[in-house]
Amino acid sequence: MEYFLQQLINGVTLGSIYGLIAIGYTMVYGIIGMINFAHGDVFMVGSIVAFIVILAFGVTGGTGTFMLILALAIIVVIAMIIAAAYNWSIERLAYKPLRGSFRLAPLISAIGMSIVLQEFVRVAQEGRPKPIHPIIDGGFEIMHRASENGEFIVRISNMQIIIIISTLVLMAVFTALIQRTALGRAQRSCEQDMKMAALIGIDVDRTISITFIMGAALAAFAGILFLLYYGSTDFFVGFLAGIKAFTAAVLGGIGSIPGAMLGGLIIGLVEVMWSAYFTVEYKDVAAFTLLVIVLIFLPQGLLGKPAVEKV
Amino acid sequence: MAKWDENSVLQVERLTMRFGGLTAISELSFNAARKQITALIGPNGAGKTTVFNCITGFYKPTEGMINLRHPDGREFLLERMDDFLITRHAKVARTFQNIRLFSGMTVLENLMVAQHNKLMRASGFTIAGIFGSPSYKRAEDAAIEKAKYWLKKINLTDRADDPAGDLPYGDQRRLEIARAMCTDPLLLCLDEPAAGLNPRESEELNRLLLGIRKDHDVAILLIEHDMSVVMGISDHIVVLDYGQKISDGSPATVKNDPAVIRAYLGVDEDEEPAVIIAEVAAPIAAKKAEVKAATKKAPAKKIPAKKPTPKSRGRK
Amino acid sequence: MTTQGSNITTRPYDWAAIIKDVIGSGIITFLILTPIVAFKTTLDQGSLTYSTRWPLVLTLALIVIAGRLIFHLFVWNRIETSKSAKAAPAKPGILSTIGKYIGPIMLVIALILPLISHFFPTSDKRVIDLAIYVLTYVMLGWGLNIVVGLAGLLDLGYVAFYAVGAYAYALLSTVYLPEWFGAGVVPWAFYLTLPLAGILAATWGVILGFPVLRLRGDYLAIVTLAFGEIIRLVLVNWFAFTNGPQGIIVPKATFFGLPFKDDPGGFAAFFGLEYNRIHFYIFLYYVILALALLTFVVTNRLRRLPIGRAWEALREDEIACRALGINTTNTKLTAFAIGAMFGGFAGSFFAARQGFVSPESFVYLESAIILAIVVLGGLGSQIGIVFAAIAIMGSFELFREMDFLKAILPQGTDPIQFRMLAVGLAMVLMMRFRPRGFVTKRDPTVFLKEKKAVSGDFVSQGHG
């Protein structure tokens, strides 16, 4: 029971990170109907940028609380801006010119862009993993019980608390943004019918650009959390995280932001539970298998709308 | 008992189709006879294309029975069959409202693909074909002959080696019909074959359909809005409104059916039908005259070929 | 295009917009490059340090600014006044004349290549090795072309079948064949395994194809990617069966039982030749050439059979296919199976050539490279794929050679590092400027009077 509780906490933490990335997939898919294959790599760029800023500022675990908060705020802002610049440029250079081209064109372009990002970071920063010293440590013991095997302690670390709470806050902000503001209305109308949206005076290009920027900001935030939580990053983390987050987006119902979050949580839990109760080596196989199963049997997702085939 | 009831190829009985809470068709029954043209008409959204999709297996009807009878007495319950098997075994062919040609393949290739199943058997399911067996060669030559026959019928022999997507709109429509006929159907379902055609092309279409009816043992079922086509060539008309059959009979009967007029014009109950009949009949007659005149002088106006690309998001 | 001056007029410069764009793109470039290029982090004896590379960032940003300015001033201000310039059919110029003979010419060159390379004795081994490498990818490209180019199904996990072929050879030749037939069979393993590897890969093609039948486009792409990764991860983790990441050492291919060894029982001794390692390479070259030609011939035959026409029809319009009574399930599965089969052959060859297999050779990037070859070649075009494979694989080799790049690059950077970056960029640029690849024309499979190539504009590229 304690073991399960601990895994639950770990799973929710991981799921929050996946959920944040998944929102970017789901928003972009919702609006232009394509998988932004490079999105996982934008997440990776976010984490690498955070790593570089941390290194440049010399932020360590020993930094005082006030300075630490300030530093983290700066890191968040920088990483979000840079990742947004990346995703904006990707959309401008690789996707926008292909709108109206044949269906595979943007997809192939996206695959190319994903390779470009990974290789760019690898060439510029070397391929080796980039470790940092733990910056946020400490935590709470929720429960501990002595058994014959020794003591088992259920802990939730401060980092986990930060991840879960900040994800909830961001998620609430984004949901409000999309449901309440003119921007959100523009996004939803583009999602329904891009031509019609343009006809009634919505700047479709701008709306799409903003969608990419928003997705990138969330991915960058997830990248920072990932770096702080695991204490390491490299040029390839975006590949696996990207695929898992995409699975989350589909599982939740593509186009739905709460769905992305829900999907993220489920994927995170499945991965952690699989590692905890079955085999750690096959955790990625489990995630990929889940992806296959979801796409085949539940392509409309948990919170999505079913699509009727038009003849 | 009308002719379409005693000599019917297709019998639709109490067909009902619901999408979620919406009833698109309810309790529809009608027959279509061999060597006759049956028109399915009705206002927009009446459920005509849904009927087609049920007959050709793209939708599975919620309730009801669709029976197809072959001349040798075999019967097929279409509602239980997969879409491609309906074409293959029950011998139903169809065209689409938004033309679905293989636009990157040549006109001739389009007609060859339609003879896939026959050629597939002849090629020994590819195995004999890959070693160049002479029997496959013969089958292919026969298939080309058949394609040539239809090319001649639709006046496209000269363009046989051009991509289908390069044809003018009207030619694409007729090519789609020829392609459907290449599957040797007993029932040919045409979804708005005259949509987007100019009067001259429309007239050519009429001639093609009448020719098919004359020379081939096939029942034609068509959805059409163009009343000149419907009234000009149909033997039998079924009128749908809100998914229900409101009239069924010969063109003359249907034309004078108050229910039909009500459905098309949305008249009040107490208005005098005779007045409206006069109003409706006059334009139809006028249009017919107009078409005749147009076919004589109007040169073919080429409508640029439109690619049939429905908005698909690969979500399925 | 620029030579037809009469059709092109220029627009007056909108200086405000140009300056805004140039400065904007400069800022964006600077933002993009600042953290990742300007700060080079190094892990030095356990402690992290960084060095800065500001001059590089500034140079790159200036290049972007200058480039955009030049384009604004000289390229983007042109307006084509006459639409006919664009609509006019491409001149049947020298290219199409060559086009007719290019196939036979290339075949002849391919057949006599070992002879040609013989005149460069210092590098003949390398030339042939490179040719083997290119031909392997040509074959993989042709195999994937069946699935992506003809049937229009975007497969991002093609490398899985390559892996199945390679591991089929590895396991059969080291474990199962000796176990079943005794050790004497090992020299013949390649010939015995090759068909089996193809059959196994085809079976896997069907197994993996079956669940994804209903998927299209992006979803199909990502599911096939997932399948590819699942197979790789299983190869990595199933230690007892595959020896995990360490891989398996396998016997190299033999000349019908005669090993290429410097001993009395070897190939050279049997034919009374002086032992030379080049014999092995020449042998391998002809094996892969034969396999590639087999792929080519079979694919071409299939295209002219009903199954091949059904593949292309499927790419054009799946619903219309069903309305014509075509069993799209079987059609898709045969495309997957036959594509996979050629991948399996190639994989088996790869293992017999390398003498070693490990999961590392079958990563997602390999699939992406093969896909890039198919895309660059022009989806569906077999000749185009040859050019694309030569271009991509050749450029990989060029990156190895480019010493001048080393001069302008920061110290310690090897140009070879940039090869995948170049592939990615090529994919993006190709989609932008020539989305239909090198060869855009489609060759009809049957004709009545004359064979006219179908312009790529009409050819659908499938829903994925």
Does any CB of chain C come closer than 8 Å to the CB of residue A203? no
A229-238, A287-296, A302-311: which has the minimum mean pLDDT? Answer: A302-311
Q: What is the mean pLDDT of chain C?
A: 79
Q: CA of B57: which chain A residue's CA is closest?
A: A311
Mean pLDDT to the nearest integer, C288-317:
89
| pLDDT, tens digit (0-9, with 9 covering 90-100), for A4-13 | 888 888 899 9
> Between these two residues, C42 and C234, which has the higher pLDDT value?
C234
A150-154, C64-68, C410-414, C433-437: which has the minimum mean pLDDT? Answer: C410-414
Across the interface, whether the CB atoms of C230 and A288 are under 8 A apart is answered yes
Residue carrying the six token digits 């392509």: A299
* Under 8 Å between Cβ of B16 and B63: yes
**Residue C464 — pLDDT band, cuts 50, 70, 90?**
very low
Does any CB of chain B come closer than 8 Å to the CB of residue A296? no
Q: What is the mean pLDDT of chain A?
A: 85
Contact list in C for residue B87 (CB cut-off 8 A) is: 322-325
Q: Is C38 exposed, middle or buried (0-12, 13-18, 19+ CB in 10 A)?
A: buried
**Residue B316 — pLDDT band, cuts 50, 70, 90?**
very low
Question: Strand locations in C45-136, DSSP E?
Answer: 47-52, 78-80
Contact list in A for residue C234 (CB cut-off 8 A) is: 285
* Element spanning B290, H or E: helix B273-297
Task: Give the span between the Cα atoms of C339 and C311, in whole angstroms.
Answer: 12
* Element spanning C101, H or E: helix C94-118
Task: Give the span between the Cα atoms of A216 and C371, in whole angstroms.
Answer: 27
Residue A269's pLDDT is 92
Distance from CA of A271 to the nearest CA of B (A): 26
- Select the residue of A52, A239, A243 nearest C39 (Cβ to Cβ): A52
Does any CB of chain A come closer than 8 Å to the CB of residue C423? yes
Residue A307's pLDDT is 55
The per-residue DSSP string of C24-53 comes to HHHHHHHHHHIIIIIEEEEEETTEEEEEE-
Q: Which range among A39-53, A138-152, B5-19, B147-161 has the greatest average pLDDT?
A: A39-53
**Residue C99 — pLDDT band, cuts 50, 70, 90?**
low
Residues listed for chain C: 464
Report which of B285, B228, B280 is spatially closest to residue B258, judged by C-alpha positions.
Answer: B280
Residue B265's pLDDT is 66
Distance from CA of A49 to the nearest CA of C (A): 6
Residue C338's pLDDT is 92
Mean pLDDT to the nearest integer, C63-84:
72
Q: Which range among A16-20, C56-60, C87-91 has the greatest average pLDDT?
A: A16-20
- Is ipTM beyond 0.95? no
Q: Please give the share of chain B, as a percent, with pLDDT higher than 90.
A: 0
Task: Give the span between the Cα atoms of B285 and C212, in whole angstroms.
Answer: 54
Across the interface, whether the CB atoms of C223 and A295 are under 8 A apart is answered yes
Across the interface, whether the CB atoms of C305 and B316 are under 8 A apart is answered no
Between positions 282 and 311 of C, the ones with CB within 8 A of A are none
A22-36, A183-197, B143-157, C95-109: which has the minimum mean pLDDT? Answer: C95-109
> Between these two residues, A38 and B133, which has the higher pLDDT value?
A38
Across the interface, whether the CB atoms of C309 and B148 are under 8 A apart is answered no
Alpha-helical runs (H) found in chain A: 2-32, 39-57, 65-90, 104-125, 158-180, 182-192, 194-199, 204-230, 237-252, 257-277, 283-297
A25-29, A265-269, B252-256, C5-9: which has the minimum mean pLDDT? Answer: C5-9
Residue C89's pLDDT is 44
* Under 8 Å between Cβ of C258 and C266: yes
Task: Give the span between the Cα atoms of A33 and A31, in whole angstroms.
Answer: 6
* Element spanning B92, H or E: strand B92-94
Report which of A112, A105, A74 is spatially closest to residue A90, judged by C-alpha positions.
Answer: A112
Does any CB of chain A come closer than 8 Å to the CB of residue C39? yes
Between positions 157 and 196 of A, the ones with CB within 8 A of C are none
* Under 8 Å between Cβ of C173 and C245: no
- Select the residue of C307, C316, C449 nearest B104 (Cβ to Cβ): C316
Distance from CA of B314 to the nearest CA of A (A): 8
Distance from CA of A120 to the nearest CA of C (A): 7
* Under 8 Å between Cβ of B104 and C443: no
Does any CB of chain A come closer than 8 Å to the CB of residue B296? no
Sign of the Cα pseudo-torsion (C231, C237, C241, C242, in order) = positive
**Residue A175 — pLDDT band, cuts 50, 70, 90?**
confident
Across the interface, whether the CB atoms of A308 and B315 are under 8 A apart is answered no
- Select the residue of A33, A307, A310 nearest B310 (Cβ to Cβ): A310
Residue carrying the six token digits 């002219």: C304
Residue A305's pLDDT is 64
Could you give phi then psi for residue C262, rounded to 5 degrees? -90, 65
Task: Give the span between the Cα atoms of B192 and B214, in whole angstroms.
Answer: 21
| pLDDT, tens digit (0-9, with 9 covering 90-100), for C337-369 | 999 999 999 999 998 888 888 888 888 888 888
Sign of the Cα pseudo-torsion (C349, C354, C357, C359, in order) = negative
Report which of B66, C43, B215, C158 is spatially closest to residue A133, judged by C-alpha positions.
Answer: C43
Task: Give the span between the Cα atoms of C50 and C121, in whole angstroms.
Answer: 47
- Select the residue of C236, C365, C421 nearest A120 (Cβ to Cβ): C421
Could you give phi then psi for residue B65, rounded to 5 degrees? -135, 135
Distance from CA of A188 to the nearest CA of C (A): 21
Across the interface, whether the CB atoms of B316 and A307 are under 8 A apart is answered yes
Residue A117's pLDDT is 92
| pLDDT, tens digit (0-9, with 9 covering 90-100), for C148-191 | 888 888 888 899 999 999 999 888 888 877 778 777 777 777 88
Sign of the Cα pseudo-torsion (B50, B56, B61, B63, in order) = positive
Contact list in B for residue A308 (CB cut-off 8 A) is: 19
Check whether C28 has a pLDDT greater than 70.
yes
Mean pLDDT to the nearest integer, C386-415:
72
Residue A158's pLDDT is 85
Does any CB of chain A come closer than 8 Å to the CB of residue B58? yes
- Select the residue of C36, C39, C229 nearest A121 (Cβ to Cβ): C36
Residue A84's pLDDT is 93
Please name the amino acid found at residue C152.
Answer: G
Work out whether strand B8-19 and strand A139-147 pair parallel, antiparallel, or are unpaired. Answer: unpaired
Please name the amino acid found at residue A64.
Answer: G
Task: Give the span between the Cα atoms of A245 and A17, in whole angstroms.
Answer: 9
**Residue B204 — pLDDT band, cuts 50, 70, 90?**
confident
Does any CB of chain A come closer than 8 Å to the CB of residue C363? no
Work out whether strand B8-19 and strand B22-33 pair parallel, antiparallel, or are unpaired. Answer: antiparallel
Across the interface, whether the CB atoms of C321 and B85 are under 8 A apart is answered no
Residues listed for chain B: 316
**Residue B243 — pLDDT band, cuts 50, 70, 90?**
confident
Distance from CA of C445 to the nearest CA of B (A): 7
Could you give phi then psi for residue C446, rounded to 5 degrees? -155, 150
* Under 8 Å between Cβ of A143 and A154: yes
Does any CB of chain B come closer than 8 Å to the CB of residue A195? no
Check whether B22 has a pLDDT greater than 60.
yes
Residue C421's pLDDT is 85
| pLDDT, tens digit (0-9, with 9 covering 90-100), for C211-224 | 887 777 778 888 88
**Residue B283 — pLDDT band, cuts 50, 70, 90?**
low
Q: Please give the share of chain A, as a percent, with pLDDT higher than 70.
A: 95
B132-146, B283-297, C299-313: which has the minimum mean pLDDT? Answer: B283-297
| pLDDT, tens digit (0-9, with 9 covering 90-100), for A242-261 | 988 988 888 888 878 888 88
Q: Which range among A69-73, A143-147, C240-244 has the greatest average pLDDT?
A: A69-73
Chain centroid to CA A253: 15
Could you give phi then psi for residue C313, rounded to 5 degrees? -65, -35
**Residue C90 — pLDDT band, cuts 50, 70, 90?**
very low
The pTM for the full model equals 0.82
- DSSP code, position B132: T
Mean pLDDT to the nearest integer, C58-79:
80
Check whether A103 has a pLDDT greater than 80.
no
Size of interface A-B (CB pairs under 8 A): 21
Q: CA of A83: which chain C residue's CA is closest?
A: C32
Residue C1's pLDDT is 40
Q: Please give the share of chain C, as a percent, with pLDDT higher than 90.
A: 10
Residue A215 tokens read as 């997705």
* Under 8 Å between Cβ of C280 and C252: yes
Long-range contacts of C57-60 (CB under 8 A, 24+ apart): C57/C30, C57/C33, C60/C29, C60/C33
Residue C412's pLDDT is 58
Q: Which residues contact C162 (CB under 8 A, 6 or more apart)?
A: C140, C343, C344, C346, C347, C350, C362, C366
- DSSP code, position C253: P
Contact list in A for residue C420 (CB cut-off 8 A) is: 115, 118-119
Residue B302's pLDDT is 42
Does any CB of chain C come closer than 8 Å to the CB of residue A55? yes
Distance from CA of B199 to the nearest CA of C (A): 27
* Under 8 Å between Cβ of B27 and B36: no
Does any CB of chain A come closer than 8 Å to the CB of residue C52? no
Residue C162's pLDDT is 92
